[in-house]
Amino acid sequence: MTTTRFRVQGITDDVTTCECCGRAGLKRTVRLVELDADGNDMDAVHYGTDCAARATRTTSTRIRNAAAAGNSLADTAAKWARRALATFTAITAAEYLATNPSVGTLERAEECRLATVAEARQILAGGGLAGTRFAREQATLEIVAARTARPAPAATAPTLF
């Protein structure tokens, strides 16, 4: 049996056509990212909530809740990024070291400050979720779906939540 895993990234109203059934004029679609065997992102698809539920063998309510959680995490990431940019672009490495003495050296303080600024810029450039460490650690919701012609036996059905 071939299984496909997805990460639900959120709901969007930018794409209004389901890539599964082709239905157009939807109010919203769910962005699903297919994962390979190692859990790395592959292709992203936009399904309507019913098709996303069918593809992942769960309910539409669970899909909508997971997508809303993804949107909430994207908003949280964007807020953090804006705050981090405002804070860490305005201070020097010496000021960073004074507030974070565990960093140790002035050179390490500058590296940490620049890394934080770079991550914040990446979050904002990617619309909040695309390709950031924060997103991968905080917004991972994997749903196992079987894409086969015959349903899996009840004894081997995947646990969704």
User: What was the pLDDT predicted at 2?
Assistant: 54
User: What was the pLDDT predicted at 3?
Assistant: 62
User: What was the pLDDT predicted at 161?
Assistant: 43
User: What was the pLDDT predicted at 153?
Assistant: 47
Distance CA 97, CA 39 (A): 37
User: What was the pLDDT predicted at 71?
Assistant: 73
User: What was the pLDDT predicted at 142?
Assistant: 36
Distance CA 69, CA 121 (A): 22
Spell out the long-range contacts of 29-36 with Cβ–Cβ below 8 A and sequence spacing 24 or more. Answer: 30/63, 30/64, 30/67, 31/67, 31/70, 32/6, 32/7, 32/8, 32/56, 33/6, 33/7, 33/9, 34/4, 34/5, 34/6, 35/4, 35/5, 35/6, 35/7, 35/142
User: pLDDT tens digits, the chain, 161 residues: what are they?
Assistant: 456 678 888 788 888 999 999 999 998 888 888 888 877 778 889 999 899 888 877 888 888 787 777 777 777 888 888 898 889 889 998 998 898 899 899 988 888 888 888 888 887 876 444 444 444 333 333 333 333 334 444 444 444 44
CB half-sphere exposure, 127, CA atoms < 13 A = 7
Q: Tell me the two tokens of residue 15.
A: 């794409």
Whole-angstrom distance between the N-terminal and C-terminal Cα of the chain? 21
pTM: 0.51
